[in-house]
Amino acid sequence: MESYEPASTRPSRSGLTLETFILEGMLEHPGARGRFTSLLSQLALCSKLITSRVRRAGLADVLGYTGKTNIQGEEVQKLDEEANNTLMRVLSRRGSCAAAASEEEETIRLLSPEPDADYLCVFDPLDGSSNIDVNISIGTIFGILSKKHPGPATEQDFLQPGRELLAAGYVIYGSSTMFVITTGKDVHGFTYDPTVGEFLLSHENIRIPEHGTIYAINESNRERWEPGIRNWVDWIRTGKDGPGRSYTQRWVGTLVADAHRTLLRGGLFTYPDDERNKTGKLRLLYEANPFAMIFEAAGGAATTGRERILDIQPTELHQRVHLALGSKEEIAAYDDFVSGKRED
Ligand code: AHG
Ligand code: MN
Ligand code: MN
């Protein structure tokens, strides 16, 4: 005799393609003109194009494609330049993205002159570039803002606090390629299946643990940190808070990889300011803000130790910021040390 499970009230969406997921999001908003949907699917397409290039990165060297031109007579560019060109080219096609700001370009680039191109994109096309040649995970980070003023986009239009982001995401080119995205409510992860050429929903509704035991910081900067950071590291290393609080440390050196691990396992990632990087190293608009949005949507937090990342009013396109991302418990302790409430 066969027995039947009662039908679940909410069937698992595991295995859904990213394209279907994006379209379903549009269907939930009757009246939507499809421009936002179109922009998200363009970003998904860029991820496929970039992952295919990243997966051939080692071969390109072996086959001697690193000179000025390849055998087709095309100029061979560095991967971060190629990723940047891919994003700019694809985003300029469908007329939904008015302009983009990229880590690779000094100023903004106008992409669509149409008056109803009402979105702005910010991105770090290739994050962790120093890890490319040693075969360690790299990534792409992006955010979408709305263009609030008529006429051609200006740099000023991009200087919005992170809480104004409409969507944020990243792609990690790791042991597999994953696309992680939020529109502010939930965070979902899609794993790329190269045999079908699609991103499939593999991590539905990612929630960061309230507490985790991994911390990530580049300790070679220790002598240049302010005392609050040193006190925090001393505390986290010695686990003075009693049992269950023994931490271990990891540092990949690719924000996308360190943040991805932190999102899934909990704990904390930080790149504080120091005497050399006076306002931090990571960029507010296209590194810190997208991750801050993702961490908050997943139930975590993102701060400078003193203030919420998403509340910072940017003043420059490429401004840097002290960035700490993580589980609520670890961020609360971090904030206490940085602000001097705790010294232990
Ligand atoms: P990018 O490759 O986009 O310039 O970013 C590199 C960043 C970030 O990914 C990482 O967290 C950090 O640099 C690592 O810095 P250190 O080499 O100082 O550890
Ligand atoms: Mn980067
Ligand atoms: Mn980069």
The predicted-structure confidence for 1-57, as pLDDT tens digits, reads as follows 444 455 456 678 899 999 999 988 867 776 677 899 999 999 999 999 999 999 988
Listed range (61-65, 89-93, 158-162, 218-222) with the worst mean pLDDT = 61-65
Residue 122 CA to ligand 2 center (angstroms) comes to 12
pTM for this entry: 0.93
Pocket mutation for ligand 1, best pick of 80, 127, 249 (most atoms within 8 Å of C-beta) = 127
**Residue-level pLDDT at 317:** 98
In our burial notation (b when 16+ CB lie closer than 10 A, e otherwise), range 25-49 reads bbeeeeeeeebbbbbbbbbbbbbbe
**Token pair belonging to 309:** 């990342």
Could you count the other beta carbons within 10 Å of the beta carbon of residue 69? 10
**Residue-level pLDDT at 285:** 98
Q: Whose CA is nearest to atom 16 of ligand 1?
A: 253
Judged against a pLDDT cut of 90, whether residue 71 lies above it is answered with: no
**Residue-level pLDDT at 116:** 82
**Token pair belonging to 208:** 């960061």
Distance of CA 110 to the CA centre of its chain: 23
Residue 124 CA to ligand 3 center (angstroms) comes to 5
Q: Is the CB of 218 under 6 A from ligand 1?
A: yes
Q: Is the CB of 221 under 6 A from ligand 1?
A: no
The predicted-structure confidence for 174-193, as pLDDT tens digits, reads as follows 999 999 999 999 999 999 99
Considering every ligand atom shown, identify the ligand nearest to the alpha carbon of residue 102 and give its number.
3
Mean per-residue pLDDT of the chain? 91
CA-based radius of gyration for the chain: 21
Q: What domains does the chain contain, in order, with CATH numbers?
A: 18-203 (3.30.540.10), 214-339 (3.40.190.80)
Higher pLDDT, 34 or 257: 257
Q: How far apart are CA 327 and CA 213, in angstroms?
A: 10
Q: Is the CB of 80 under 6 A from ligand 1?
A: no
**Residue-level pLDDT at 111:** 97
Element (DSSP H or E) covering residue 168: strand 167-173
Pocket mutation for ligand 1, best pick of 80, 126, 130 (most atoms within 8 Å of C-beta) = 130
